Amino acid sequence: MTKLRRLLKYFLPFVLAFACASTRADDKLFTIGVNNWAENIAVANIWKTLLGEKGYQVRLQNADKALLYNSVAQGKIDVTFEVWLPSGDKPAFDKVKDSVVKIGPWLKEANLGLVVPDYVEVESIDQLNTNKALFSARGRPRIVIDSGSSLMQLTEKARSTYQLDYDVQASSESAMVLSLERAVQRKEPIVVTLWKPHWIWSKYKLKYLSDPKGAYGATDSIYGIETRAFNKQHPDVEQWFQQCSMDDDSLGSLMSEIIKQGASTAEKGAKAWIDANRSLVQQWQLR
């Protein structure tokens, strides 16, 4: 027994030191959920970069919105930054709102809806049925849509509300953008689902179709959500998140910088943007 006590006396400081070091390491490690939207990739990467400067190890986990919301609610992912309220993501958010903490909004004005190039002589969703021939491909009119859950649900609502005799062509954001770019380059009519902010607004002249029946809801703000334990685990980071605020100009310049540096290396673009916008970052009290 005496020998065991001596061994414990000898090894205990090392065990405690290792445990404390592990705890400190865990305090600097967490996961940000990312869905495949340009502004979400941009914001996730500026936080990964900024927090990396503070010694945090941030892992980015890719998934669609609904899965990310559920993962935050279950504590599998710490935080995600793409929650459009009060309209766009309300159904998905309502399912988890009692299990998460809302962050922000970090962007106060955001919109979803149906978009056409400005040369298309259609101004409102309720004019689409009388212009079906204009948007027909292989004999059927179509709406090209990023298949994110909220956009899909809202577009199905719009189809029902306006009794649109249109097919929905579900695709990824990149495929939807490619379809739009090809149509613009050929000056062909096309109708797509699109959100704002998005970098493509600065590249082409586009317009929202008016939505007199409000199928896509009012202007939203973009929030984040975090686990209920996050504030206790990372109080400084929680404060930085809550004080983050961007607008169309700052977010647009961030997305443009990421595209300029190469979308496949978003962290490189985020770093370049941070270096050029330290005064804004300091307003978030990230010091």
In this structure, are residues 102 and 223 in contact, taking their beta carbons and an 8 Å threshold? yes
Q: Is 56 left (phi over 0), alpha (psi -120 to 50) or beta?
A: beta
Q: What pLDDT, on the 0 to 100 scale, is given for residue 168? A: 92
pTM summary value: 0.73
3-state DSSP of the chain: CHHHHHHHHHHHHHHHHHHHHHHHHHHCEEEEEECCCHHHHHHHHHHHHHHHHCCCEEEEEECCHHHHHHHHHCCCCCEEEEEEECCCCHHHHHCCHHHEEEEEEEEEEEEEEEEEECCCCCCEHHHCHHHHHHHEECCEEEEEEECCHHHHHHHHHHHHHCCCCCEEEEECHHHHHHHHHHHHHHCCCCCEEEEECCHHHHCCCEEECECCCCCCCCCEEEEEEEECCHHHHCHHHHHHHHHCCECHHHHHHHHHHHHHHCHHHHHHHHHHHHHHCHHHHHHCCCC
Q: What pLDDT, on the 0 to 100 scale, is given for residue 52? A: 93
Distances 54 to 77, 80, 229 between C-alpha atoms, Å: 20, 19, 21
Written as tens digits, the pLDDT of the chain (287 aa) is: 555 455 445 544 444 444 443 334 457 888 999 998 889 999 999 999 999 999 999 999 999 998 999 999 999 999 999 999 998 899 999 999 999 999 999 999 888 899 999 999 999 999 999 999 999 977 899 999 877 657 788 899 999 999 999 999 888 888 899 999 999 999 999 999 998 888 888 789 999 999 999 998 888 999 999 999 999 999 999 999 999 999 888 898 899 899 888 777 899 999 999 999 998 888 886 65
Q: What pLDDT, on the 0 to 100 scale, is given for residue 264? A: 76
Please identify which residue in the block is written with the tokens 């030191």: 17
Q: Tell me the domains of the chain and their CATH numbers.
A: 2-108+221-283 (3.40.190.10), 111-208 (3.40.190.100)
